[in-house]
Homo-oligomer: A and B are copies of this chain.
Amino acid sequence: MRIIGGKWKGSILWHLKEGPVRFNDLTRMLGGASKKMVNQRLKEMEAQGLLVRTVLNDRPIAVSYTITEFGRSSLAILEQLKYWAEKHDI
Partner of A77, one of B2, B6, B84: B84
Residue A90 interfacial (CB < 8 Å): yes
- A68: shortest Cβ distance to chain B, in Å? 11
User: In the complex, which residues 72-90 of chain A have their Cβ closer than 8 Å to any Cβ of chain B?
Assistant: 73-74, 76-77, 80-81, 84-85, 88, 90
- The number of chain A residues touching the other chain, given as a range, is 10 to 19
Chain A 7-25 per-residue mask, 1 if CB under 8 angstroms from chain B, else 0: 1001000000000000000
Bound CA span A80–B81, Å = 10
Residue A32 interfacial (CB < 8 Å): no
Minimum CB distance partner of A7 in chain B:
B1
- A77: shortest Cβ distance to chain B, in Å? 5
Residue A37 interfacial (CB < 8 Å): no
A80: chain B residues at CB < 8 Å are 77, 80
A85: chain B residues at CB < 8 Å are 3
